[in-house]
Structure 1
């Protein structure tokens, strides 16, 4: 496997806006695990062309397109944030900077587009959501909880019987949802690059890459092999593998594969502009923790399912009041999230730690009930149900996460408090 580092070749994304050179496709195929996620040219190709590298379930738009309205608010571009390396900048100034690698930024208020910029991609382009896809798994499992098919306080092995007689015995669905299992698969800077750690083995298994010590593994086998390292419920320990446990849990309960389940329950209700892509492991498991692709507007439509304007983009209410209330009110403590590796990381991303904690596959919940989910290479999904506001953005930047710093100031600017 190629040992790609942060010094990987880095081309300005404008040069790829109308297509990629064939040599980059060849480089991407040869890159290996670390190259795909290093944040350079190979990452840019993979973000936009994941279906060329992985088996992909295509969820078509089954409803007539329900177009988003338009009500431009150019003043949004003047909202300022303190960036990580370049001081205070307006959003317009930030997006104009080629060396910060933002690709698209979209703000939707009450079902209308109020700000939309595509500095380094095209509106119709599909792009990986990365970990912003994790709430898709939380949503399906919460539906099953509401229907009485899952008791979130029972061990997951009650339903996911193939995990019985492993260290998963006794771990509840609630702890998996909140990433509070105490299992040794937390995503950290070290674990992602340790070939013996489950965190890295999860990604390698998903992509069909050979682990240097174990060869090619199956995802479910990797997850079952996870060992407990501490008691559950003590700290937020972020792990993409836990999202995949939720996928397997839902499939076991419903007797249905994930893409069909998500299509039936969610995407078939949405008047999307294009297909939603779930990228699959070699043995057909949807990598719902992050390997999901769509264009930026359809990404926003998913966020709108959590707002009062859901009926402007869907024919049926998908996120019930009960589910939204659980996400926003059943939140653990600030000390809980800050006790894990990623709590302080998220505080650095936003330049503040004035959030409460994570909840049910969302990274942050603020005291006003706003929600945020971030993804590798600085993707973002911000939802303010009270303001009927959704903010989404795509980037290819592992080195500067300043794109995250604008969402909260936009939401709290006062422009949407009426």
Structure 2
């Protein structure tokens, strides 16, 4: 039986990442995985699955074999993306992170060739693919987004806010009656969107291995695995039991459990399952090339904090919903100007994000701390309006609404996060200035 508590946050677990495990070159798996690896993955423990070795590669591309999965087909048929290659993108160089064993600085082309964990990279400009490479996977393959999926949850909430169904400044317990009388009293939807709740469920390397910590219990409940002292728990019950750490708004405390609060909130307001809500409101409008996979808890709650899978082009199509080229891949404007304005105008302070555990983590991944803060499930917003969301094992989604630019990438890497550094360098390279 598959018994690994899932870690979908951007935080890199020290124990899991310590020491790069020898692994089979990923290009040997392009045409499929051997049966022995499938068996090894099912028997893998927590560290083995997420340290970036062979079981990580299998799980990242085969989540639907392990978890209940809602499959959202392309309902309007594929809306093809034009191609207009810009090979100079591949020449852009960045410094590697201190953990990297690769030479530094290194061009994007060289990184994709030399990094053993790099699987795919794509840049879309004004609705056209200008750079696309698949060094270690096939274009049609599904790959998990990890925490880069978190904006899917905030998008639905923002739609409900725009429709007047949710007041973002009202206590979330106004919409979740069974949370009344718990420490969630006084926490607003806006606090949850910005991970500013003050609730004690932050994802850190310590919380992952503490059986009494809410963060670990969240992941165990999502897989239906028994907690060491409490047995099998339901996700909603675990979230209700979260203790208060401090007053809301003090600091950014990254937690995948907060994204799941948004999932539960959307389901409560719409009286429907999250995957069906997302299909109706978002994905049914997208001219995707393949099906979107939403992976679920045993009792059917979408793990939208990270367990979403698609091919790379459809990952880019989600990002394009936030750009002026939305009409090249969708039949309806899903991300309204009002929603974009809230993301950008309601961003908190740099001091706020740096006061939490992950502010410094993001700065290290990106190579600088010149960003403003996080906003509405996006990890980082810059003064120029660009947005970035990263995921475990170096997945990434970068969107520049003003430049009409989207950058997406897949990796299997926990011991070198240099892949995150190219997106901002590409966006600010001058190639897309007009």
Which TM-score bucket, shorter chain as reference? over 0.9
Map of 1:97 onto structure 2: 114
Q: Helix, strand or coil for the counterpart of 2:33?
A: coil
How far residue 36 of structure 1 moved from its aligned partner, in angstroms, is 2.7
Map of 1:129 onto structure 2: 145
**2:67 paired with 1:54:** yes
Map of 1:15 onto structure 2: 28
Map of 1:269 onto structure 2: 285
How far residue 5 of structure 1 moved from its aligned partner, in angstroms, is 4.4
CA distance in structure 2 between the aligned counterparts of 1:215 and 1:233, rounded to whole angstroms: 33
How far residue 163 of structure 1 moved from its aligned partner, in angstroms, is 1.1
Q: Helix, strand or coil for the counterpart of 2:289?
A: coil
Matches within 5 A, 1:262-411: 262-411=278-427
Q: Helix, strand or coil for the counterpart of 2:42?
A: helix
How far residue 9 of structure 1 moved from its aligned partner, in angstroms, is 4.7
CA distance in structure 2 between the aligned counterparts of 1:219 and 1:33, rounded to whole angstroms: 19
Q: Deviations over 1:24-70 (max 9, x none)?
A: 11111112444332221111111000000000000000002100010
**2:166 paired with 1:150:** yes
CA distance in structure 2 between the aligned counterparts of 1:135 and 1:399, rounded to whole angstroms: 25
Q: Deviations over 1:223-277 (max 9, x none)?
A: 1110001111000000000000000001000101101100000000000000000
TM-score normalised by the chain length of structure 2: 0.94
Q: Deviations over 1:115-142 (max 9, x none)?
A: 0000000000000000000000000000
Map of 1:87 onto structure 2: 104
Q: Helix, strand or coil for the counterpart of 1:29?
A: helix
Map of 1:215 onto structure 2: 231
Q: 1:417 to 1:5 in 2, by over 3 A?
A: closer
Q: Helix, strand or coil for the counterpart of 1:355?
A: coil
How far residue 364 of structure 1 moved from its aligned partner, in angstroms, is 0.3
Query: What's the Cα RMSD here?
Result: 1.3
Map of 1:74 onto structure 2: 87
CA distance in structure 2 between the aligned counterparts of 1:327 and 1:170, rounded to whole angstroms: 22
CA distance in structure 1 between the aligned counterparts of 2:355 and 2:209, rounded to whole angstroms: 22
Q: Is the 8 A contact 1:110 1:309 kept in 2?
A: yes
How far residue 98 of structure 1 moved from its aligned partner, in angstroms, is 4.1
Q: Is the 8 A contact 2:61 2:142 kept in 1?
A: yes
CA distance in structure 2 between the aligned counterparts of 1:196 and 1:10, rounded to whole angstroms: 33
CA distance in structure 1 between the aligned counterparts of 2:51 and 2:184, rounded to whole angstroms: 31
1:42 maps to which of 47, 55, 70: 55
Q: 1:303 to 1:417 in 2, by over 3 A?
A: same
**2:78 paired with 1:65:** yes
Q: Helix, strand or coil for the counterpart of 1:252?
A: helix
Q: Helix, strand or coil for the counterpart of 2:159?
A: helix
**2:128 paired with 1:115:** no
CA distance in structure 2 between the aligned counterparts of 1:406 and 1:297, rounded to whole angstroms: 18
Map of 1:191 onto structure 2: 207
Map of 1:160 onto structure 2: 176
Map of 2:8 onto structure 1: none
Q: Is the 8 A contact 1:12 1:98 kept in 2?
A: no
2:244 maps to which of 188, 203, 228: 228
TM-score normalised by the chain length of structure 1: 0.98
Q: Is the 8 A contact 2:16 2:50 kept in 1?
A: no
CA distance in structure 2 between the aligned counterparts of 1:17 and 1:149, rounded to whole angstroms: 46
Q: Is the 8 A contact 1:95 1:119 kept in 2?
A: yes
CA distance in structure 2 between the aligned counterparts of 1:50 and 1:280, rounded to whole angstroms: 10
How far residue 2 of structure 1 moved from its aligned partner, in angstroms, is 7.9
Map of 1:176 onto structure 2: 192
CA distance in structure 2 between the aligned counterparts of 1:132 and 1:166, rounded to whole angstroms: 30
Alignment length (residue pairs):
417
Q: Is the 8 A contact 2:4 2:49 kept in 1?
A: no
